[in-house]
Each structure stands twice: as structure tokens, then as C-alpha cells.
Amino acid sequence: MKKYSMIMLMVLLAISFWNCEKDDLCAEGTPTTPRVVIQFYDNGNGTMLKNVTNLKIVELSTNNALVANETSTNEVLKYLFNTNKVSIPLRTDAVETKFNFIHDSAGTGEAIDELTFTYTKNDTYISRACGYKTTFEITNPTTINSTTNWIQNITVENVKIENENETHIKIYF
């Protein structure tokens, strides 16, 4: 009986080692779902980059503001961009994403323009550890719904959103 117990224990131990898999980690630098890269330009001089002041970007379906400064302890400043370039995520579970772009959000001259991005998406399998990467193609020019019109013009520079190495959208204000 002891002999059968020992054999059974060895068989169970061997089976448990066969079921082990090596850790499957997604390597640093693996391509992920790209964000839309937007640059802001001076409307009077279309070639000159212009910093937007206290820009707050809110994704409308979730009503969540995009974080501009993760290290900020100030709950207002945490969500304000002061730059001429932003990268924003599109929804991977939809074919349209709407944002409120709020200019001078912390000031007295707050102006809100609603931007709608309509696109097709393509899911690409990366690996078991990393899952899928989604790329996008803008199907309609980005539309603006506004009462304040702080954004004067939008141009789509690159309809294919496959990486974050280039500008996809230019906004003139």
C-alpha cells in the first residue's frame, strides 16, 4: 500500500510540473493602442505652434477628464493641459468618441467646444501576454459643436492612427 501511495504521489507531482507555464509578460516597448496626437496652432499664422492655456479635455460618454499631470496633488491642476500638443485615447468599444475641449478651464473666460471623432477600428493580435492592439482610421473629418467657437479650424493630417510618432489632427485657434 505504501508503494502505491509513493507511486501515486510521484505521478501527481509529475503532472503538476507539466501544467506549469513560464511567465508570459508583455515586454516594455511592445506596441499598444495608439492615441490621437493633436497639435495646436495659431489661427493667424497657420505654421506657428501655439500653447493652449488651461485646457481640460472631458470624454463625454464617461464624463471623465483626461489627466494632464499625474503627479499633481491639486485636483484642479491635475486635469489642465498647458501645451501645444496632446495625445488623447479613442474608445476601442465604439466607432465614435466625443470630447469637450474646455479652454481656460481654471479661469474666468471658459470656452467649450465639443469635438466628435468618427472612425473605423482594426484589432491586431500582439501576443497572449499583451492581447490586442487597436488601430483607427478617421472616416469623417472631425466635427465641432460649439457655442463659443474658440476652435477656429481643424485639419486631419493623417487619417490612419497607427502610432503616436506623428501629428494626426491640427487645431487652429
Confidence of residue 151 (pLDDT cuts 50, 70, 90): very high
Which helix H or strand E contains 11, and what residues bound it?
helix 2-18
Which pLDDT score, from 0 to 100, does residue 30 have?
A: 85
**Total-model pTM:** 0.81
pLDDT at 48 over 80: yes
If you average pLDDT over residues 107-120, what whole number do you get?
A: 90
If you average pLDDT over residues 158-171, what whole number do you get?
A: 96
Which pLDDT score, from 0 to 100, does residue 107 have?
A: 76
If you average pLDDT over residues 142-153, what whole number do you get?
A: 83
Give me 58's grid cell: 472631458
Which pLDDT score, from 0 to 100, does residue 14 have?
A: 65
Confidence of residue 18 (pLDDT cuts 50, 70, 90): low
If you average pLDDT over residues 12-36, what whole number do you get?
A: 75
> Helix (H, G, I), strand (E, B), or coil: what is residue 80?
coil
The least confident of 35-49, 69-83, 137-151 is 137-151
If you average pLDDT over residues 118-129, what whole number do you get?
A: 93
Which pLDDT score, from 0 to 100, does residue 9 have?
A: 67
If you average pLDDT over residues 121-150, what whole number do you get?
A: 88
Assign 3-class secondary structure to 12-47.
HHHHHHHCCCCCCCCCCCCCCCCCEEEEEECCCCCC
Tens digits of residue pLDDT in 70-106: 998 998 899 999 999 999 999 999 999 999 999 998 8
User: Most distant CA pair in the chain: distance in Å?
Assistant: 92
